């Protein structure tokens, strides 16, 4: 699952679904930040907060395999484009990530809404489910400023509440 430019689409998915990082932070990851690591530690670009995410064993193994022969200073998700002034490699852009996500969805026959944030939201939803709905933990992992933000993020809004109530068995 490589495209012509060499960005591994699979690596994008593994990093996105495996860390729950925002796309801006994913794009900035260097090989040294993730290969051979048990955790991903970064300062999140949006919040300026330290983010520290453990990597599951299968995620680590896959990352190590996909980045096996790459230089540690490379971007994990490196663009074919280079900085005009320095000639240095550049990370792929958010726009490119979005295009890749759309192509992956199209190939999978999915025609609903999808974007770069889909990976983070999926990570969040699975963590929410597997912790029995631990909002405090999820808020911390996602670096949200409030539980309200996390609730909104998960889509636990009035529409979801209404749907759940309308689908629940009646008692009378």
Work out the widest C-alpha separation in the chain, in whole angstroms.
73
Q: Are 34 and 42 in contact (CB under 8 A)?
A: no
Using DSSP, state whether 111 is helix, strand or coil.
Answer: coil
Give CA separation, 12 vs 30, 113, 154, in Å: 13, 18, 22
Cα–Cα distance, 105 to 67 (Å, whole number)? 24
Q: Are 55 and 40 in contact (CB under 8 A)?
A: yes
Report, as residue numbers or ranges, the catalytic residues: 22, 46, 117, 120, 144, 153
């Amino acid at each position: 699952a490589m495209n012509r430019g060499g960005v591994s689409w699979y690596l994008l998915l593994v990093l996105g679904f495996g860390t729950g990082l925002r796309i801006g932070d994913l794009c900035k990851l260097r090989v040294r930040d993730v290969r051979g690591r048990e955790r991903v530690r970064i300062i999140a670009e949006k919040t300026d907060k330290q983010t520290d995410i453990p990597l599951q064993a299968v995620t680590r193994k896959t990352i190590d395999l996909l980045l096996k022969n790459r230089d540690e200073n490379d971007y994990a998700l490196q663009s074919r484009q280079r900085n005009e002034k320095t000639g240095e490699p550049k990370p792929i852009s958010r726009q490119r990530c979005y295009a890749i996500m759309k192509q992956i969805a199209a190939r999978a026959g999915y025609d609903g809404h999808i974007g770069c944030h889909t990976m983070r939201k999926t990570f969040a939803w699975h963590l929410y489910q597997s912790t029995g709905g631990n909002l405090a933990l999820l808020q911390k992992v996602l670096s949200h400023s409030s539980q309200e933000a996390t609730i909104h993020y998960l889509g636990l809004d009035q529409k979801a509440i209404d749907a759940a109530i309308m689908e629940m068995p009646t008692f009378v």
